[in-house]
């Protein structure tokens, strides 16, 4: 229908929940002696001559010990910056349910995009709504609602149109046992599978300008300026920074 210029009476919800990166941590601490000190002592330096090679060889040794006085003055900030891309952002769609279910138990995901059919007027005035963020299982883990703007009266509502159908048909509830919540557990699953998706950077076609100039800014972890053609170096740990402005073109 679309290829014949016939309006298609539905919309599409594209989800990329399996994006994976190697992430690095950092130490956030207070400077000064309130945090701790490093003690150095018993320094020794010895110098010797090597007459055969006509060189001087020096050996310097010392003892040192770092002591933390107040462990509350520092913390480890996890997942501060990315150091390498692992997968999950290709353009391949999951076309069969069994393919998705097989990848859940595999070491990696062969495809990246899950496509779901939604009503044509979704997110239009007086139309069905899609929450931001969404959980592809239809509902967030109970411990995560406190970090969203979702009203308490809507907690039991599906996060996108057709969520209950897709959760049952694609058996998405099975992913919940691998999902991470806001609490720490003594026993954790062998691997985590993300089920939460944010509105990504999106361009729409503007008929007046005859170009893809209408846009929705990214709301995910990369920020409004972190999704554009050429940002791979920043995400792979290069000594680079994201642009200081949102992209104005998909190219």
* Model pLDDT for residues 11-20, shown as the tens digit of each residue: 899 999 999 9
| pLDDT above 90: residue 115 | yes
Tell how far CA 156 is from the center of its chain.
25
pLDDT tier for residue 191 given thresholds of 50, 70 and 90: low
pLDDT for 114 equals: 93
- Mean pLDDT over 126-141 rounds to 86
- The percent of the chain in helix, strand and coil, each rounded to the nearest 5, is 15, 35, 50
pLDDT tier for residue 104 given thresholds of 50, 70 and 90: confident
List residues bridging with 63 in a β-sheet. 41
| pLDDT above 70: residue 183 | no
pLDDT for 125 equals: 86
CA dihedral 121, 124, 128, 131 (to 10 degrees): 130
How far is the first Cα of the chain from the last one, in angstroms, to the nearest whole number? 27
pTM given for the model: 0.74
- Give the residue from 93, 83, 80, 69 showing the smallest Cα distance to 16: 93
Q: What is the tens place of the pLDDT at every residue in 43-93?
A: 999 999 988 889 999 999 999 999 999 989 989 988 888 999 998 999 999
- Mean pLDDT over 6-14 rounds to 86
pLDDT for 14 equals: 94
pLDDT for 177 equals: 62
Domain ranges of the chain: 10-26+77-196, 197-250
Cis peptide before 133 (omega within 30 of 0): yes
Give, in degrees to the nearest 5, the angle at Cα 89 between 87 and 94.
95
Element (H, E) at 166: helix 163-169
Q: Are 128 and 161 in contact (CB under 8 A)?
A: yes
pLDDT tier for residue 139 given thresholds of 50, 70 and 90: confident
192 compared with 21, residue with greater pLDDT: 21
pLDDT for 93 equals: 95
Instruction: Report the alpha-carbon distance of residue 198 to residue 5 in Å, rounded.
Output: 31
| pLDDT above 60: residue 147 | yes
Give, in degrees to the nearest 5, the angle at Cα 202 between 176 and 114.
35
Element (H, E) at 15: strand 10-15
Helix (H, G, I), strand (E, B) or coil at 99: helix
Instruction: Report the alpha-carbon distance of residue 147 to residue 144 in Å, rounded.
Output: 6
Q: What is the tens place of the pLDDT at every residue in 198-235?
A: 999 998 888 888 888 888 899 998 988 888 888 888 89
| pLDDT above 70: residue 180 | no
List of residues 6+ apart from 214 with CB closer than 8 A: 203, 204, 205, 206
Compute φ and ψ for 102, nearest 5 degrees.
Answer: -65, -40
List of residues 6+ apart from 74 with CB closer than 8 A: 27, 28, 29, 30, 35, 68
143 compared with 199, residue with greater pLDDT: 199
pLDDT tier for residue 238 given thresholds of 50, 70 and 90: confident
pLDDT tier for residue 26 given thresholds of 50, 70 and 90: very high
């Amino acid at each position: 229908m679309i290829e014949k210029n016939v309006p298609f009476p539905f919309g599409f919800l594209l989800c990329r929940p399996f994006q994976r990166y190697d992430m690095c941590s950092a130490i956030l601490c207070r400077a000064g002696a309130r945090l701790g000190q490093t003690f150095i002592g018993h320094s020794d330096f010895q110098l010797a001559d090597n007459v055969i090679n006509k060189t001087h060889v020096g050996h310097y040794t010392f003892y040192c010990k770092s002591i933390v006085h107040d462990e509350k003055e520092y913390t480890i900030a996890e997942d501060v910056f990315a150091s390498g891309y692992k997968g999950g952002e290709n353009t391949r769609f999951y076309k069969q349910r069994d393919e998705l279910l097989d990848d859940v138990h595999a070491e990696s995901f062969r495809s990246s995009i899950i496509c779901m059919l939604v009503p044509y007027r979704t997110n239009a005035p007086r139309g069905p709504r899609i929450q931001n963020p969404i959980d592809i299982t239809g509902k967030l883990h109970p411990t995560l609602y406190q970090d969203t703007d979702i009203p308490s009266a809507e907690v039991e509502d599906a996060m996108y149109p057709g969520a209950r159908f897709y959760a049952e048909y694609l058996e998405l509830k099975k992913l919940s046992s691998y999902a991470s919540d806001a609490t720490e557990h003594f026993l954790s699953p062998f691997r985590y599978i993300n089920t939460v998706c944010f509105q990504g950077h999106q361009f729409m076609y503007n008929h007046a300008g005859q170009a893809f100039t209408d846009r929705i800014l990214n709301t995910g972890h990369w920020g409004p300026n972190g999704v554009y053609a050429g940002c791979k170096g920043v995400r792979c740990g290069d000594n680079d920074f994201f642009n200081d402005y949102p992209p104005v073109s998909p190219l």
